[in-house]
Amino acid sequence: MTAERNTDRVVIVGAGLAALSAALDLAPRPVLVISPESLGEGASSVWAQGGVAAAVGATDSPADHAADTMRAGAGTVDAAIARLVTAAAPEHIAVLAELGVPFDRDAAGGFVMSREAAHGRPRVVRVKGDQAGAEIMHALIRAVRAAPSVQVAEGVMATDLVVDQGRVAGVRLVRSGAPSGAVSVRAAAVLLAAGGSGGLFAVTTNPPRVRGQAVGMAARAGAQVADAEFVQFHPTAIDVGQDPAPLATEALRGEGAVLLNSEGTRFMTAVHPDAELAPRDIVARAIFAEHRAGRRPVLDTRAVLGAALLERFPAVAAACREAGIDPVTQPIPVVPAAHYHMGGVATSDRGRASLPGLWVVGEAASTGLHGANRLASNGLLEALVFARRASDDIAADLGPAPASAVPPVDLTFPATGGVTPDPVLITRLRRVMSAEVGVLRNGPGLRRALAEIADIETAAGDCPQLTNMTAAATLIAAAALARRESRGGHARTDHPDPDPAQARRSLLTLTEALEIRARACEEMPA
Q: Are the C-beta atoms of 346 and 229 separated by less than 8 Å?
A: no
Q: How far apart are CA 308 and CA 328, in angstroms?
A: 8
Q: Residues 169, 7: contact at Cβ < 8 Å?
A: no
Q: Is 226 helix (H, G, I), strand (E, B) or coil?
A: strand
Work out the average pLDDT over 187-197: 95
Q: State the pLDDT at residue 323.
A: 92
5-12 mean pLDDT: 96
- Residue 284 · residue 297 · CB < 8 Å: no
What is the pLDDT at residue 334? 97
Mean pLDDT for the chain overall: 93
- What pLDDT was estimated at residue 513? 98
pLDDT at 42 over 80: no
* Reduced 3-state DSSP string for 490-523: ECECCECCCCHHHCCCCEECHHHHHHHHHHHHHH
Q: What is the spatial distance between Cα 427 and Cα 48, in angstroms, rounded to a whole number?
A: 25
Sign of CA dihedral 496, 498, 502, 507: positive
Q: Which of 29, 115, 280, 430 is catalytic?
A: 280
Domains of the chain plus CATH, in order, are 239-336 (3.90.700.10), 423-523 (1.20.58.100)
Segment 316-350, tens digit of pLDDT: 999 999 999 999 999 999 999 999 999 999 999 99
- Tell me the helix, strand and coil percentages in the chain, rounded to 5: 40, 20, 45
End-to-end Cα separation, the chain, in angstroms: 42
Quote the CA–CA distance of 63 and 55 in Å, as a whole number: 9
Q: Which residues contact 498 (CB under 8 A, 6 or more apart)?
A: 74, 75, 485, 486, 487
The per-residue pLDDT for 177 is 77
What is the model's pLDDT at position 431? 97
- pTM here? 0.93
In tens, the pLDDT along 364-421 reads: 999 999 999 999 889 999 999 999 999 999 999 999 988 788 999 999 998 877 788 9
User: Is the confidence at residue 41, as pLDDT, over 80?
Assistant: no
Please report the pLDDT score of residue 81 as a whole number. 98
C-beta of residue 190 within 8 angstroms of C-beta of residue 184:
no
Q: Report how far residue 54's alpha carbon sits from residue 77's, in angstroms, rounded to the nearest whole number.
A: 18
Query: Which pLDDT belongs to residue 49?
Result: 62
Reported as a pLDDT band with limits 50, 70 and 90, residue 186 is very high
The Cα–Cα gap between 411 and 453 comes to 33
Give catalytic status of residue 492 as yes or no.
no
Angle at the Cα of 194 from the Cα atoms of 373 and 460, rounded to 5 degrees: 100
pLDDT at 435: 95
CA distances (Å), origin 332, targets 49, 228, 338: 17, 32, 18
Burial of 67 (0-12, 13-18, 19+ CB in 10 A): middle
pLDDT tier for residue 145 given thresholds of 50, 70 and 90: very high
